[in-house]
Structure 1
């Protein structure tokens, strides 16, 4: 293995898609990534799931979910440095493994985004009515979120608004996110510090003492519980890859997206651990009252803790979660629309998806399509499950593990000829992506198996099999059927091989 410095890699030319180039730097890219992750929304939606699975081991599980994400982030960085393309996982896996794997990877990414968009909209609606209820001192307003008809109608309105904003261009998205992300991060920090201060004063309900054992994932957790918890943790970190799908709109497409992704992941980890420790020490993990294990609070932990921790400032936390959900709802359209754009440009999807608005330089049709499918998905799942948020989070973990692991393996395979050229190549292009992909694929397999048991989620089932199985693995199987249809309608894309000298010979022939 050589210790010499590698020669500068030559980037592979990808197809110009008409997006706005040179708009994003490292910081702004990281902000959009953090916005998509939505730490405020994610924590209030996932803490209940993780605590139900592993109890006081929540910090350990958050770290366990972070490790494969961090390792996989290097795969994204290396692939982007060679092939900056808004199709990201779809483009890279197609280049490495061929059209069939690439199509399924792109499908998994798009559907993961659709699932989380519906979840984001639902959380935004819940906190919207909670906030209005507090402002007007009218509990009946807060209860409107529990009325299925009102909930679905309001969620569809939120999705429509986010679709319009996402369709106005990347610059509009960037300016909106600075405000929303900054606000939620400041409020989350204030919430965590205030909770810890109350613990120090002896005013907390649980008054737990800090323990390093909370960070040890190797003791006191059954394998099945560990995997369920890690699935929730992986969901908690999902979204940083938005930085990579915006590569073609970055100031330096070969370097900025990768740096932004790593900055985003590390910032999120620090935030999660601080808040997790604070709420555990303050509320404990009991199944009554403010306990994090209380099923009545599982879908909305911050909704229960806002007033006890912050007092008169409680509505600020509700507003922060609303801002977090709304911000992420808008930015999450970006990777979904751009992946569909790339699939349209390269022939994997109908050509209509390749259209870019000449004024706003965004894939308008793909953005609208994402909004319509999100609204339909949420409506159907809401009618099938009483606790749709819990089920969609579990299903999302399955989807994430699927397409992230494929992307990680694509990095190893694509760079296989240069892995031993230097220690750097071996670690960042080989070892890290291989470890990250293996971990994620293991979680995927176990999660699919566990999802068949309705008791591992909300209890909703179809034919005795958990709804999560259908929302996760079932949608992937649907993708296989749709791929067969796509092959008949767009055969040229499926005729190419991964050994093509350019990224997509099909596009060069047009």
Structure 2
């Protein structure tokens, strides 16, 4: 019987390929949006060393992604790090990893919904249809987009990635056209090799600070692993994550060099002088309209990818007894996590609506999104070490390739990301001498994400002692055996791998 066509009632269909994972990861990273409206924030710290910051940030990300690839091949579970950290460091660390991922995903979806509303209304203004930027209009427009995104996610990943590929393609064409034009027509500064050199930073603190911010802009590559149980091959997620990181790095380097060539330092560090205004300069109002449409398309694709990844994480938590069993329910015909999808999106919508009643709440959401780099670095760092600890016994007498892939590189990458996360927390906390309810206050930006993690501690106690979740009380299922004749990275059919559902 073909499991891909006739899965059990509680299983996903295994029909996805590497290309689907690449699209999901690229959509979640959303490099075109980062180029369009995010380079200015990084340039304010990195200056002309903008490309070098991306190169440095990519190194630990790539190192950790190799560890994720091995874990996905041997332990294919849509809970990803939530399950893998539990295996390596215990259920308390795993639970807090899952809690943090869910919290940041919901906060991001609430924020991204607002962005889709803003881009839609900006597009209406530029095209002369109507003009409004009221908070109510922005929120309601974002909610409409969220509803459409949820429908697409429930219909299935293949349909969703088909839409995402079109949206990503359109946004990439626009952004790359502007960047190429910047190379051709820009004259602010000649392209220099020193832009790509880590030795060109004025001091170590600037280098580290810029690397932290650049690493945050890669956030989302791990979403390729959220569909590991739906892959025809367990290795597909590892390939997809690697391809997405490399493609993103290339786009970042090209975009950063083009903007440095075309914009003065003052223009570059002003987020308002990003892709839209550069497009307006080169191509007039039509260029500005195309740029806003590109940002809208990429943001919609990003939201859809976040819904797909987030719903599979909460499904895994429901399956393990951490959440109610209804969270693990699959659509009877489409085999998608319909309950988790609806509830994850519903929580994000509730947060957006609450922001209308409590205006300052939207500031809190923005602050968390701006400071989530701390959590991203910590989660990736812990994930890297989870790989090292999980495969520690297999490193003895192993081949050099395996020792590097599941030992040395994840350890170095994980340590670097943990240190970077700690650094940005320290820098933000010491940047001011008082706490204030302000999305620009460094201590507020540090306390919010760390407070979100701490809130998970009482929730963990309730789940362990009141709900008595199997995740806390039962041992993890054994890893799928490593192939005997080749390394653990060799192709392994997803249908022959043992999934882990504690």
* TM superposition score normalised by structure 1: 0.85
Partner of 1:233: 214
Of residues 250, 255, 263, the one that matches 1:270 is 250
Q: Distance in 2 between matches of 1:424 and 1:409?
A: 18
Establish whether residue 436 from structure 1 lines up as the match of residue 413 from structure 2.
yes
| 1:217-256 paired onto structure 2 within 5 Å | 217-252=198-233, 254-256=234-236
What SS does the corresponding residue of 1:404 show, helix, strand or coil?
helix
8 Å contact kept, 2:13–2:335: no
Establish whether residue 159 from structure 1 lines up as the match of residue 146 from structure 2.
yes
| 1:458-497 paired onto structure 2 within 5 Å | 461=438, 466-493=443-470, 495-496=472-473
Establish whether residue 188 from structure 1 lines up as the match of residue 175 from structure 2.
yes
Q: Distance in 2 between matches of 1:394 and 1:16?
A: 42
Show CA shifts across 1:233-268 (max 9, x none).
12211111111111111121x211111111111011
Partner of 1:408: 384
Partner of 1:95: 87
What SS does the corresponding residue of 1:246 show, helix, strand or coil?
helix
Partner of 1:4: none
Mark the CA change 1:347 to 1:389 in structure 2 (over 3 Å): closer, same or farther: closer
| 1:24-35 paired onto structure 2 within 5 Å | 24-35=16-27
Partner of 2:269: 293
| C-alpha RMSD over aligned residues | 2.9
Establish whether residue 323 from structure 1 lines up as the match of residue 297 from structure 2.
yes
8 Å contact kept, 2:123–2:292: yes
Establish whether residue 304 from structure 1 lines up as the match of residue 285 from structure 2.
no
Cα drift, residue 64 of structure 1: 1.9
Show CA shifts across 1:202-222 (max 9, x none).
5xxxx1111222222344344
Cα drift, residue 389 of structure 1: 7.9
Establish whether residue 36 from structure 1 lines up as the match of residue 28 from structure 2.
yes
Q: Distance in 1 between matches of 2:309 and 2:121?
A: 28
Mark the CA change 1:350 to 1:450 in structure 2 (over 3 Å): closer, same or farther: farther
Q: Distance in 1 between matches of 2:19 and 2:283?
A: 30
Q: Distance in 2 between matches of 1:89 and 1:17?
A: 25
- After alignment, is 471-480 or 382-391 more displaced? 382-391
Q: Distance in 1 between matches of 2:36 and 2:432?
A: 21
Q: Distance in 2 between matches of 1:90 and 1:335?
A: 12
Cα drift, residue 459 of structure 1: 8.0
What SS does the corresponding residue of 1:332 show, helix, strand or coil?
helix
Mark the CA change 1:189 to 1:19 in structure 2 (over 3 Å): closer, same or farther: farther
| 1:314-353 paired onto structure 2 within 5 Å | 314-353=288-327
Mark the CA change 1:276 to 1:95 in structure 2 (over 3 Å): closer, same or farther: same
Q: Which runs of 5+ in 1 are unaligned?
A: 1-14
Cα drift, residue 351 of structure 1: 1.7
Mark the CA change 1:402 to 1:373 in structure 2 (over 3 Å): closer, same or farther: farther
Cα drift, residue 404 of structure 1: 1.3
What SS does the corresponding residue of 2:372 show, helix, strand or coil?
helix
Mark the CA change 1:387 to 1:229 in structure 2 (over 3 Å): closer, same or farther: farther
Partner of 1:361: 335
What SS does the corresponding residue of 2:190 show, helix, strand or coil?
coil
8 Å contact kept, 2:72–2:228: yes
Q: Distance in 1 between matches of 2:317 and 2:47?
A: 42
- After alignment, is 76-85 or 466-475 more displaced? 466-475
Mark the CA change 1:45 to 1:375 in structure 2 (over 3 Å): closer, same or farther: farther
What SS does the corresponding residue of 2:108 show, helix, strand or coil?
helix
Mark the CA change 1:86 to 1:319 in structure 2 (over 3 Å): closer, same or farther: same
Show CA shifts across 1:36-87 (max 9, x none).
1111222234212211222222111112221111111101101011011111
Partner of 2:113: 121
What SS does the corresponding residue of 1:251 show, helix, strand or coil?
coil
Partner of 2:101: 109
Mark the CA change 1:488 to 1:160 in structure 2 (over 3 Å): closer, same or farther: farther
Cα drift, residue 230 of structure 1: 2.7
Give aligned pairs, total. Answer: 474
Q: Distance in 2 between matches of 1:389 and 1:301?
A: 23
Q: Distance in 2 between matches of 1:270 and 1:129?
A: 31
What SS does the corresponding residue of 1:167 show, helix, strand or coil?
helix
